[in-house]
Chain A
């Protein structure tokens, strides 16, 4: 699955970068949720860049946060979601709070940095 996402990402990059350049906007400055492909993550220690030994089977494909996680998710009540009943979701339930995330969204954005009933959680695909 991840291989497909990377392939789609590279294809999207080939299209988005020239278009963004043409319209004079930097993909790095985008903070909206219009596209998961932006890019960030410089400045912090990176074991890959530092030359640290990584386990077999590790392959760096694109820069950190090139597929940008949702760091500040926004939620709406169920009846405002506007989703068809048959779409696939990931659901989490704390015993008090329940949250749902559409799979079709997670396959593009891959990560939602969130909280469930005050507990810090990461939803990932």
Chain B
């Protein structure tokens, strides 16, 4: 996961608490010593208890797929080896307000696009038709219009206006809304067990 490590005007330096909460990792902040839970990004003890960090959009993908989409990317100077984890083992999760939604990666890959509503907001989870190791979560609200996305001949397209969008970055490529860009939402990947533990009220998408 990736979090913005700022609360108000305070920038936090976070360390590893060395403890588990709900079987997931915890952090400590260097200025107050408060303890934070990673999956929910919330302080669970200490002076900052109850404060939250913003979750940022992040992709779990392969190096090849990432580099194709972002040729100018920087790479952490570190060993990179096969991890044993695969994207298909995860859920893609979006938390908004009091609502949390999870989509199984194989479902997203199978459908190409899943149009959904989270916290009253129309959203879409998109598997890149050119590389199923890439995915994005977008808002479907474009100005006053709510788009209904589908994959047509390998292209991400609004079924109403016929506008086509880049499936990774969301910018319009042709059609009536071609000058618009779909807003990227802070979706992240989660282990299924963590989803059940930290978002017990969250719902998992299914065909029915």
- Do A and B actually bind? yes
Contact A81 B35 (CB under 8 A): no
**Chain B positions within 8 Å of A82 at CB level:** 80
A84-B73 CB under 8 A given contacts A103-B60, A122-B3: no
**Chain B positions within 8 Å of A124 at CB level:** 1-3, 25, 27, 38
Which of B21, B27, B46, B66 sits near A91, CB closer than 8 Å? Answer: B66
Interface magnitude class on chain B: 35 or more
A90-B58 CB under 8 A given contacts A55-B44, A62-B18, A64-B17: yes
In B1-37, the 8 Å CB interface with A consists of 1-6, 11-28, 30, 32-35
Contact A100 B20 (CB under 8 A): no
Contact A120 B4 (CB under 8 A): yes
Nearest B-chain residue to A88, judged by Cβ: B83
A47-B33 CB under 8 A given contacts A87-B81, A93-B70: yes
CA distance A90 to B87 in the complex (A): 11
In A35-53, the 8 Å CB interface with B consists of 40-41, 44-48, 52-53
**Chain B positions within 8 Å of A97 at CB level:** 74
A91-B70 CB under 8 A given contacts A45-B33, A111-B27, A122-B27: yes
CA distance A117 to B85 in the complex (A): 28
A54-B35 CB under 8 A given contacts A74-B77, A77-B75, A99-B76: yes
Q: B186: shortest Cβ distance to chain A, in Å?
A: 11
CA distance A113 to B24 in the complex (A): 18
**Chain B positions within 8 Å of A44 at CB level:** 28, 30, 32-33
**Chain A positions within 8 Å of B20 at CB level:** 2-3, 6, 57-59, 61
Interface residues, chain B, CB within 8 Å of chain A?
Answer: 1-6, 11-28, 30, 32-35, 38, 44-47, 53, 56-64, 66-67, 70-83, 85-87, 191
Interface pairs (6), CB distance under 8 Å: A44-B32, A61-B19, A66-B16, A69-B15, A100-B76, A121-B5
Instruction: For the complex of A and B, list the 5 residue pairs with the smallest distance between their C-beta atoms, beginning with the closest.
Output: A85-B64, A45-B33, A102-B80, A83-B80, A81-B75
Interface residues, chain A, CB within 8 Å of chain B?
Answer: 1-3, 6, 33, 40-41, 44-48, 52-55, 57-71, 73-78, 80-93, 97-105, 107, 110-113, 116, 119-125
